[in-house]
Amino acid sequence: MVLAMLEGTVALVTGASSGIGEATALRLAELGASVALVARRRDRIEDLAGRIGDRALAIEADVSLKVQAQRAVEQTVSELGRLDTLVNNAGVMLLGPVQDAPLEEWERMLAVNVAGLLYCAHAALPHLLGAAQDGPRQVADMVNISSVAGRVARLGSGVYNLTKHGVGAFSESLRQEVGGRHVRVSLVEPGAVETELRSHNRPEVQEQIAQRFGDIEHLQAPDIADAIAYIVTRPRHVAVNELLVRPTEQQG
């Protein structure tokens, strides 16, 4: 029965306090998984945990801090019992020209999109390998959220492009390393999704982003949650390595 495909498994979703992460946590819970909800905004993840019920665990953590990322993984395993699925979703997108860019914006993107993802991947990997060996499904998943920006570089997105291209390269290398042991590493590359992501940009940059996308119909967070759910519910011998999902009207 489709609805119970992830019964008995445990998923950890980073950036679960809004947007794609929130929608993904809800979707994986619907499929029967217990879910650890990781983000900095405690009120948001506690509210989400309340909506999901007793199979959800809210963990306040800043994944860009090594100790907090490690603790989030360890707390998931100690309180929910195991770890079968890691969705590395937490991210920030701070755009604009390279010239005169605030270095603090670059540092935040590198810290969350790259270091945060690596800390979570490193801490989770032994548990994913264990789940693939003796878990209910004999397979485990790490889903890394990149972007169209991880495929195509654009003027005004240089450092965001750098972080997301890096996520793609790391994912492919790790896929080759652990696929033989039934840990699947997948890359999801969304186009424009209606979330809070762009609201953290400077006003002039937000204006440029709005102009770029005009009034095209954006993806909604549950559209990407569906893609992630598809990946993690494939049979053990099927690995969806990469999914690029754009709004139908998005050109570049």
Ligand X SMILES: NC(=O)c1ccc[n+]([C@@H]2O[C@H](COP(=O)([O-])OP(=O)(O)OC[C@H]3O[C@@H](n4cnc5c(N)ncnc54)[C@H](OP(=O)(O)O)[C@@H]3O)[C@@H](O)[C@H]2O)c1
Name the residues that contact ligand X, by CB under 6 A: 14-21, 39-41, 44, 62-64, 89-93, 112, 116, 145, 147, 190, 192-193, 195-197
Kindly state the DSSP code that residue 40 receives in the 8-state scheme: S
Q: How far is the CB of 216 from ligand X (least distance, A)?
A: 12
User: Whose Cβ is closer to ligand X: residue 139's or residue 219's?
Assistant: 219
User: Whose Cβ is closer to ligand X: residue 135's or residue 190's?
Assistant: 190
Q: How far is the CB of 148 from ligand X (least distance, A)?
A: 6
Choose among 42, 35, 74: nearest CA to 60.
42
Q: Is 160 a catalytic residue?
A: yes
The stretches of the chain forming alpha helices (DSSP H) are 19-30, 42-52, 66-80, 103-109, 117-134, 158-178, 203-213, 221-232
Residues 6+ apart with CB under 8 A from 228: 24, 27, 28, 87, 143, 188
User: Whose Cβ is closer to ligand X: residue 40's or residue 202's?
Assistant: 40
CA 251 to chain centre: 24
User: Whose Cβ is closer to ligand X: residue 80's or residue 148's?
Assistant: 148
Pick left, alpha or beta for residue 8 (phi over 0 → left; psi -120 to 50 → alpha; otherwise beta).
left
Q: How far is the CB of 133 from ligand X (least distance, A)?
A: 29
Choice among 76, 112, 160, 190 that is catalytic = 160
Q: How far is the CB of 160 from ligand X (least distance, A)?
A: 8
In the β-sheet with 85-88, what is the strand arrangement from edge to edge? 56-60, 34-39, 10-14, 85-88, 140-145, 183-190, 242-245
**Residues with catalytic function:** 160
